Amino acid sequence: MDNSRIARLFNEVADLLDIRGENPFRVRSYRTAARTVEDHSEDLAAVLRDGGDLTALPGIGKDLAAKIAEIIETGKLGFLDELKAKLPPGLPELLRLEGVGPKKVKLFFEEAGVDSIENLDRAAREGRLRGLDRMGEKSEAGIIRAIENYRKHIGRFRLDDGLAAGAKILDSLKPVADRVVAAGSLRRRRETIGDLDILAVSSDPSALTDRFVNLPGTASVPARGPTRSSIRLEGGLQVDLRVMEGDEFGSALLYFTGSQAHNIALRRRAREMGLKVSEYGIFRGEEKVAGETEEDCYRALELPWIPPELRENRGEIEAAEDGRLPRLIELEAIRGDLQSHSTASDGKESIMEMGRAAGRRGYGYIAITDHSRAVRVAGGLDEKQLARHLEEIERAGEKCPGVRILKGVEVDILADGTLDLADAILRECEVVVASIHSSFRLPRKEMTRRIVRALTNPHVNILGHPTGRMLLRREPCDFDFEEVVKAAVGEGVSLEINGHPARLDLNDVLARRARELGARLAVNTDAHSSAQLDLMTYGVFTARRAWLEDRDVINTLPLEELLAALNRPTR
């Protein structure tokens, strides 16, 4: 049981209460509790098991503590099920649409009789939403776009959700398996996954299958057999288990890790060498020449082992053949984080807490980059507030030996490409991340001009989450990527790979292209709490899929070299 599941259920409760128009304080107490739980670094199941007191957590009273215990013990929350029973079953799904919150759902339901996505789509296309409170033609068109978007992504899951589900399943199966691993797009660390492939070798296959089809959180069992079974989890994710012999494990792992395009290219290569590749092994005629390990299989094809993140048939086989595979960046190479938030804007911990957490991770530096005033919902800072905040960063730094807390800001790029704060204060910052948080839908030319203009400001160091996309939720901004990268290279601005698993922006393909064009990358977490500094691992996954090496990423540099690379004088 992980904390994020508890948080998800609490957020669902808050959404449903909100849709029902219940007391806002009650709604907020569930949302606050969800955030508290999500950000808590210990597993609450373990806390409970060790006799810990959940009411010691901020914002968790007796009632919520009992609900947490219920979720941990039963995997369910009766109260949530009761709430669900009182509303049309299609309503909560509306919340998955971009720009649709509980208030809108309530409005659509009560004023337009909308109780499902299909209904909403029809209402929008028939122009029945534009008359509603604070709805016009533009917002109606936004709803249609959001629905199209949502449908495009249906059946895809974020990598972090997939990894969390996968880790739990592997833990449960380990005691009854000799070997068990996750393959597929999860192993390749794709940003989203469609399903989960688990491979196992076991001396007791029927016990393994038994355990698998009875995993907690299973909603249905579409298939069950001695070598292959499938379950569907409550959230909709399908998990396939394949049981095999030990001497097939390597070839099966290779086969089920994919990608399909990589496998096809390998098969073609094998054919030219007079070999045959299948999930059962590599064969020359009837003779099996490899199968037990992946390394053996690649060796039989006269190739070195290729890291799963590269297996997309994007030139990795040719590179492997020529001995040109990149030395992919590793998490351990990261020496600091260049985008993070504190309580000064919408972060949840103080500068000091963020600094100390960075120190505990072994970082040499962390930039605190709170929002600027345009992001009002996040409590963005104006010039005066930022000036005071920078002083606070300095003071916190003095009390935080071993890690340098860099004075930073995440300044908004306004619609015309100017920045949200005056140069006089940006000059005082050591790290200026410039990002877009509004006007995402400008026409391509205008958007390109906007970003390029922002990059020409001499104080900008990093372009934050450059495309603005939110995975499975918001499409990227439309702009001329090559032109923006060339401007960034010319201006000495680094491009961010934002490691938040909802963003992963730049993505693998764009980050790789940016590097080819000579850009430097910064892999940041955008952490809003110290626990979120761990999201660096997702940024590094994306960097690896982009073929990046240590030297391509500025925050692998030691402090002094980093400061030089940022083109800022050292103090």
448 part of the interface to Zn ion, by CB under 5 A:
no
Closest contact distance (angstroms) between CB of 529 and Zn ion is 15
Q: Which residue has the tokens 């977490």?
A: 525
Closest contact distance (angstroms) between CB of 117 and Zn ion is 29
Tell me which stretch binds Zn ion (CB under 5 A): 92-100, 349-357, 361-369, 430-438: 430-438
How far, in Å, are 189, 305, 440, 489, 512 from residue 312 at the CA level? Answer: 11, 14, 30, 27, 13
For residues 40 and 373, which CB has a smaller minimum distance to Zn ion in the complex? 373
Measured CA to CA, the distance from residue 248 to residue 230 in angstroms comes to 20
Closest contact distance (angstroms) between CB of 435 and Zn ion is 4
Q: Using CB under 5 A, count the residues that bind Zn ion.
A: 1
For residues 182 and 414, which CB has a smaller minimum distance to Zn ion in the complex? 414
Q: Please provide the distance, in angstroms rounded to a whole number, between the alpha carbons at the two ends of the chain.
A: 47
435 part of the interface to Zn ion, by CB under 5 A:
yes
Phi, psi for 2 (deg, rounded to 5): -115, 160
Tell me which stretch binds Zn ion (CB under 5 A): 192-200, 280-288, 377-385, 428-436: 428-436
Q: Which residue has the tokens 């060339």?
A: 486
Closest contact distance (angstroms) between CB of 503 and Zn ion is 9
- Quick one: tokens of 169? 């399943």
For residues 44 and 411, which CB has a smaller minimum distance to Zn ion in the complex? 411
For residues 372 and 435, which CB has a smaller minimum distance to Zn ion in the complex? 435
E strand or H helix at 496, and its extent? strand 494-498
Measured CA to CA, the distance from residue 132 to residue 124 in angstroms comes to 11
Closest contact distance (angstroms) between CB of 78 and Zn ion is 38
> For the chain, how many residues are written?
571
For residues 29 and 435, which CB has a smaller minimum distance to Zn ion in the complex? 435
For residues 342 and 435, which CB has a smaller minimum distance to Zn ion in the complex? 435
Q: For the residues of 366-430, what is the DSSP string, one character each?
A: EEEEEEBTT-GGGT-B-HHHHHHHHHHHHHHHHTSTTSEEEEEEEEEB-TTS-BSS-HHHHTT-S
Closest contact distance (angstroms) between CB of 169 and Zn ion is 33
Closest contact distance (angstroms) between CB of 191 and Zn ion is 18
For residues 251 and 435, which CB has a smaller minimum distance to Zn ion in the complex? 435
Residue closest to 414 by CA, chosen among 435, 444, 429 = 435
Tell me which stretch binds Zn ion (CB under 5 A): 431-439, 443-451, 453-461, 500-508: 431-439
Do 567 and 525 form a contact (C-beta atoms < 8 A)?
no
Closest contact distance (angstroms) between CB of 528 and Zn ion is 10
Touching Zn ion, residues 165-224 (CB under 5 A): none
For residues 340 and 435, which CB has a smaller minimum distance to Zn ion in the complex? 435
Q: Which residue is nearest to Zn ion (CB)?
A: 435
Closest contact distance (angstroms) between CB of 431 and Zn ion is 13
For residues 252 and 471, which CB has a smaller minimum distance to Zn ion in the complex? 471
Question: Longest C-alpha distance within the chain, in Å?
Answer: 77
556 part of the interface to Zn ion, by CB under 5 A:
no
Q: Going by C-beta distance under 8 Å and a sequence separation of 6 or more, which residues neighbour residue 123?
A: 108, 112, 114, 129
Phi, psi for 569 (deg, rounded to 5): -70, 145
Residues forming contacts to Zn ion in the complex (CB under 5 A) are 435
